[in-house]
Amino acid sequence: MEAAKRDVTALTICSTSFATLGRAQAKALGCPDLPIAVIPHPFGLRNREEVRRIAEQCVDDIARLVSGRGTEGGEASAAAADRAKRIEAPYELEAFNEFCEERRLSDGLPLVPPTPERVERMLRQTRRAPGEIVATVAPGFGVATVERIAINAVTAGCRPEYLPVLVAAVEAMAEPRFNLQGIQATTNPATPWIIINGPVAREIGVNARLNCLGQGTRANATIGRAVRLILQNIGGALPGDMDRATHGQPAKYTFCCAENEAESPWEPLHVERGFSAGESTVTVVGASGTLNMNSHAKDGDDLLRVIADSMTFPTGNDYHFGGQPWVVLSPEHAEILKLGGLDKTDVKRLLWEQSGLLASRFAARDYARAHHTRGGEFSRFSADTLLPISLQPDDIGIIVAGGPGTHSVYVPTFGQTRAVTRAVIR
């Protein structure tokens, strides 16, 4: 007997704060009329009876949307891997920037017009075809071709030789374990941090030393900025629409550096992650901010003790999900640890052992959340449970960067993300 055919209706459920994201993402995926059941935000201040009433109303809304006429959404489809369309825009700089601002193509800083000549000049830096699809970029899942990456690179002020690095960065961010969808759409201030290793860092002038996380170096500034424009203009993460960051952070403009391999006492990051010393790589990290750690300690164990203590704070996502936090050691601090007989594995182990957080330090609601997300790791979860910052010591990332000085930097992460490293192909 032939099975009866039934209409299948799709819908999504969003809280009021994420309804804009839901509609924008549905439109980007080809379903602009996808029904949305909206529930009030936030939930954290409501008692169980209020939550029950909200749930009952939501069930009624779902039933109404499913049984109603509704509008069928089309299937999401990837754009064809063809050349980018040319559009007419003012060439004069001020008028061009106003043109981009009106169309929400800007990050708020002055842009460079991506003329065909400038884009073609950049494309000559790679053997990959302009229409080659590098990735689809969440949350809008726009298609990032080599040419579209080049267009955003020109707009950000990149030199042509930076293009292969950007292509590798886009490939890395699209890896599922990086969780770009979460990073792009969260209320957290998470943003990709770009770490460049190998010969390419020196060849294109990426700063690994003094002020490597600050201003003053074109490669650092414009590569990081190009990543942001790609995430916005191809991925569709416009602030207030699909990008739902409560505050954001300055690093969402640009966050890029190289590792100071020359002054590191240990193997560089890309070698640690399975690449040869002569290869060039890009590593992307889902960073939620930076914390300067200034210590004049001259004993390795003493230095690690205060770094671990600085990492231990109960409002960090890493403790809720067993994340992958990072430490940027200055050459001076790294040398102190090396003189203490510690290699990178020792440093990770000692930081992991000393950065445990007592569950009692969480706010009551956050305690319940940690119990839900990490309770399975323990035979008994209680206020006395000591939560490790990551699932294992090797999940703590370590690089050496910066110049002279008794400073290192702690970089907590989004938590539900894992760093990805890709080779730079030229």
* Chain segment 293-350, per-residue pLDDT in tens: 999 999 999 999 999 999 999 999 999 999 999 999 999 999 999 999 999 999 999 9
Residues of the chain with pLDDT > 70: what percent?
90
* Local structure of residue 237 (DSSP, 8 states): -
CA distances, 125 to each of 121, 130, 147, 150, 229 (Å) = 8, 11, 11, 10, 20
Query: What does the pLDDT look like over 362-404, one tens digit per residue?
Result: 999 999 999 999 999 999 999 999 999 999 999 999 999 999 9
The values of phi and psi at residue 221, to 5°, are -65, -45
Q: Is the peptide bond before 110 cis (omega within 30 degrees of 0)?
A: no
- Per-domain residue ranges of the chain: 12-67, 93-423
- At position 18, the amino acid (one-letter code) is F
* Local structure of residue 278 (DSSP, 8 states): T
More confident residue, 10 or 95: 95
The values of phi and psi at residue 148, to 5°, are -65, -35
The pLDDT score that the predictor gives to residue 60 is 67
Whether pLDDT at 2 is above 60: no
What span, in angstroms and rounded, lies between the C-alpha atoms of 30 and 313? 42
The values of phi and psi at residue 93, to 5°, are -60, -50
Contacts 24+ apart (CB under 8 A), 46-52: none
Query: What does the pLDDT look like over 274-289, one tens digit per residue?
Result: 999 999 999 999 999 9
Burial 66-94 (b: 16+ CB within 10 A, else e): eeeebeebeeeeeeeeeebeeeeeeeeee
Contact, 401 vs 394, CB < 8 A?
no
Whether pLDDT at 263 is above 90: yes
Q: pTM for the whole thing? A: 0.86
CA distances, 406 to each of 130, 303, 327 (Å) = 46, 10, 14
What span, in angstroms and rounded, lies between the C-alpha atoms of 262 and 216? 21
* Local structure of residue 36 (DSSP, 8 states): E
Contact, 131 vs 147, CB < 8 A?
yes
Whether pLDDT at 206 is above 60: yes
The pLDDT score that the predictor gives to residue 59 is 73
The sign of the CA dihedral 263, 264, 269, 273 is positive
Of 333, 350, 255, the closest CA to residue 294 belongs to 333
Residues of the chain with pLDDT > 90: what percent?
79
- At position 183, the amino acid (one-letter code) is I
E strand or H helix that includes residue 182: helix 180-185
